[in-house]
């Protein structure tokens, strides 16, 4: 499994991460199989959030692997906070309470990376800065980042933060390519030339922030997967053609397509199927040619100017 540097930090992590949202649906034995399979594949990065399963996903994770201090040092744990029932909350009080809850559920003394889950319209960046400083000084959190934020929202936080924001987790897949589309359609009247995220891809590269791609197999906003979906015959035909040449699956290629981008994007994969994860993990060692990358991009329905 190939490694990447996470932002400006000293963390060297697998370029494929296991997203743990669905762990809450598994038994302890099933979860243990999933996690140990991931570890055997070289995946050392595990993505959580306090809302996944209402907190149960974090509990299942820790219980399934029977967390010990020795095992903990082999893992890089990330969790997210800020989403509450019906609203968002980046208040100092909530951030601190959320972290304490995640620490208890994960049975650990520290979180490697804490992300603010979705932008809070009522954010007071001074409060976020106070919370982050307390968490850093207490040793409860080692690194920080955001999720689903645009560049100006990050800049607002950076005005007050003492810590680097090393990660931005964003939806990105072959069928969700807005970050790329507007860059290719510069100076045109094409609908995809609209900048919907304040140049977040270029911003991230300029500021050494790692983008983590969530929902790498989804189209729309949780509308479904595009792999083997009859709505996308051209894309699946192209993926199958290249997959056959490389003796891998279409899901492997969908992740390899993300990893091929020079921004060194980390892909968050949420499958709980050990066999499927094993196939997907092969993407770490595949480098698509420029022609293959663009062929897949166009087969997804994207036009080049």
So which residues are the catalytic ones? 52
Structure tokens at 92: 């100092």
Query: Exposed e or buried b for every residue in 200-233, given b needs 16+ CB within 10 A?
Result: bbebbbebebbbbbbbbbbbeeeeebbbeeeebe
Measured CA to CA, the distance from residue 185 to residue 194 in angstroms comes to: 8
Residue that the structure tokens 């009859």 belong to:
230
CA 204 remoteness from chain centre? 14
Report the candidate in 74, 70, 59 with the shortest Cα–Cα distance to residue 27. Answer: 59
Strand partners, 5: 12
Measured CA to CA, the distance from residue 252 to residue 214 in angstroms comes to: 15
Rg, Å, the chain Cα set = 19
Structure tokens at 77: 């744990």
Rounded to 10°, the helix 28-40/274-281 angle is 20
Alpha helices in 185-267 (DSSP H): 200-206, 233-246, 250-259
Q: CA 245, 247, 248, 249 torsion: positive or negative?
A: positive
Do residues 110 and 76 touch, judged by C-beta distance below 8 A? no
Contacts of 290 (CB under 8 A, 6+ apart): none
Query: CA separation (Å) from 239 to 148, 229, 245, 296?
Result: 28, 12, 10, 7
Do residues 94 and 81 touch, judged by C-beta distance below 8 A? yes
């Amino acid at each position: 499994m190939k490694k990447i540097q996470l932002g400006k930090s000293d963390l060297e992590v697998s370029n494929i991460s296991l997203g743990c949202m669905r762990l809450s649906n598994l038994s302890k034995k099933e979860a243990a199989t999933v996690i140990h399979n991931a570890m055997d594949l070289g995946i050392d990065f595990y993505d959580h959030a306090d809302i996944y399963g209402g907190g149960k996903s974090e509990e299942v994770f820790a219980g399934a692997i029977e967390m010990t201090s020795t095992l903990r040092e082999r893992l890089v744990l990330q969790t997210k906070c800020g989403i509450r029932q019906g609203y968002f909350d980046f208040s100092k009080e909530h951030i601190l309470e959320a972290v304490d809850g995640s620490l208890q559920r994960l049975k650990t003394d520290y979180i490697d990376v804490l992300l603010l889950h979705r932008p809070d319209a009522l954010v007071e960046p001074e409060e976020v800065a106070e919370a982050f400083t307390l968490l850093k000084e207490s040793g409860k959190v080692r690194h920080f980042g955001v999720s689903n934020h645009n560049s100006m929202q990050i800049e607002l936080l950076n005005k007050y933060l003492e810590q680097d924001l090393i990660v931005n987790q964003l939806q990105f897949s072959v069928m969700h390519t807005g970050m790329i589309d507007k860059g290719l359609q510069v100076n045109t009247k094409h609908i995809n030339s609209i900048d919907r995220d304040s140049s977040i891809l270029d911003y991230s590269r300029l500021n050494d922030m790692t983008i983590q791609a969530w929902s790498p197999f989804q189209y729309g906003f949780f509308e479904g997967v595009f792999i083997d979906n009859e709505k996308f015959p051209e894309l699946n035909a192209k993926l199958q053609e290249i997959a056959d040449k490389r003796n891998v699956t279409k899901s492997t290629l969908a992740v390899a397509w993300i990893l091929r981008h020079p921004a060194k994007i980390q892909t968050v994969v949420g499958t709980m199927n050990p066999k499927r994860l094993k196939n997907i993990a092969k993407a770490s060692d595949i480098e698509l040619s420029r022609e293959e990358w663009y062929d897949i991009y166009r087969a997804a329905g994207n036009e080049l100017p």
